[in-house]
Amino acid sequence: MERHEEYKDSHIPWVGEVPAHWEVRKLKTLVSRKSETGKPDGTVLSLYRDYGVIPKDSRSDNHNRTSENTDSYRVVGIDDLVVNKMKAWQGSLAVSQYDGIVSPAYFVYRLTSSKIFPRYLHYATRNASYIPEYKRLSGGIRPDQWDLSPDGFSQILYLVPPYEEQVRISEYLDRILDEIDALIEATVKSIELLEEYRRSVISEAVTKGLDPNAPMKDSGIEWVGEIPVHWAVEALGLRSTMLTPMRDKPEDLDGPIPWVRIEDYDGKHLSCSKAGYGVSQETIDEMNLKVYPVGTVLCTSSCDLGKAAIIAEPLVSNQRFIGIIPGKDLTSDFLYYLMLSNSERLNTLSTGTIQANLSRKSFEHLKLPFPSIEEQTQISRFLDQQTSAIDELITSRKEIVSLLSDYRRSLISEAVTGKIKVPGVK
Asked if 70 and 76 count as a contact pair (C-beta separation under 8 A), the reply is no
The confidence band for 50, taking pLDDT boundaries of 50, 70 and 90, is: confident
Q: Strands 81-84, 93-95: parallel, antiparallel or unpaired by DSSP?
A: antiparallel
Inform me whether the pLDDT recorded for 355 exceeds 60: no
- The pTM of this model reads 0.85
What is the average per-residue pLDDT within 245-259? 88
Dist. CA 170–CA 192, nearest whole Å: 32
Which CATH number does 23-160 carry? 3.90.220.20
Dist. CA 219–CA 201, nearest whole Å: 19
What is the average per-residue pLDDT within 323-335? 96
Q: Please, what is the average pLDDT of the chain?
A: 92
Which are the contacts of 217, defined by CB distance < 8 A and separation ≥ 6? 226, 227, 228, 229
pLDDT of residue 145: 67
Dist. CA 331–CA 225, nearest whole Å: 23
Specify the DSSP element, H or E, that contains 199.
helix 163-208
Determine the 3-state secondary structure of 242 from DSSP. Answer: strand
pLDDT of residue 351: 61
Task: Tell me which of 130 and 319 has the higher pLDDT.
Answer: 130
Same fold, 23-160 and 232-370: yes
Q: What percent of the chain has pLDDT over 90?
A: 77
* AA letter at 160: V
The confidence band for 259, taking pLDDT boundaries of 50, 70 and 90, is: very high
DSSP of 301-346, one letter per residue?
-BSSTT-EEEESS-BEE-TTEEEEEE-TT--HHHHHHHHHHTHHHH
Q: State the alpha helices, DSSP H only, in 212-342.
A: 281-287, 332-341
Inform me whether the pLDDT recorded for 354 exceeds 50: no
Weakest-pLDDT range from 56-60, 75-79, 405-409: 56-60
Q: pLDDT digits over 277-316, tens only?
A: 999 999 999 898 899 999 999 998 877 777 899 999 999 9
Q: State the alpha helices, DSSP H only, in 127-162.
A: 131-136, 150-154
What is the average per-residue pLDDT within 357-384? 93
pLDDT of residue 63: 64
CATH 3.40.50.720 fits 232-370, yes or no: no
The confidence band for 104, taking pLDDT boundaries of 50, 70 and 90, is: very high
**Boundaries of every domain in the chain:** 23-160, 232-370
Q: Of 51-65, 200-214, 300-314, which one has max mean pLDDT?
A: 200-214
Q: pLDDT digits over 120-172, tens only?
A: 999 999 999 999 999 999 887 666 668 899 999 999 999 999 999 999 999 99
DSSP secondary structure letter of residue 3: -
CB-count exposure of residue 222 (10 Å: 0-12, 13-18, 19+): exposed
